[in-house]
Amino acid sequence: MPITNAASKFFTESVDLTSTSQTTIYTVPNKHSAIVKALIIANTDSSNRNIDLKWYHADDATTHSILEGHQITGSNFEAVLNDNIPLYLHAGDILYVTAATANTIVTTISVEEYYDPNR
């Protein structure tokens, strides 16, 4: 169980998808749990582009698709996860994004991490 009365750590990171390979955008550190507060996926190209979003669940070593072949409109962005649609993760869980076209997608993720000594 996370220690929620202890200080949590907030951060935001961006990742440019420079290839069409599966790209790690966030990994929960050991002995931590995390809440993804926002995941914004931007298409920097004028054409519509597709992405896949996957979650690796470390507890049972399985990968789950959240979005497959999801289209992001040209020169636009989508808030895929937010305070109304959070994602709760635990130590070793990973979020991956794959772009169908290289150098057109930028992800920005905001996360709150909690120390979780039992993870």
Residue 1 covered by a domain: no
Please check whether residue 85 lies inside any domain of the structure. Answer: yes
Give the confidence band of 119 by pLDDT, cuts at 50, 70, 90. confident
Q: Is residue 111 domain-resident?
A: yes
Task: Compute the distance between CA of residue 3 and CA of residue 72 in angstroms, rounded to an integer.
Answer: 37
**Mean pLDDT for the chain?**
95
**Number of structural domains found in the chain:** 1
Q: Which domain holds residue 82?
A: 9-115
Q: Model-level pTM?
A: 0.93
Residue 82 inside a domain? The answer is: yes
Q: For 28-50, what is each residue's pLDDT tens digit?
A: 999 999 999 999 999 999 999 99
CATH number, position 46? 2.60.120.340
Which pLDDT does position 64 carry in this prediction?
A: 98
Residue 38 contacts residue 79 (beta carbons within 8 Å): yes
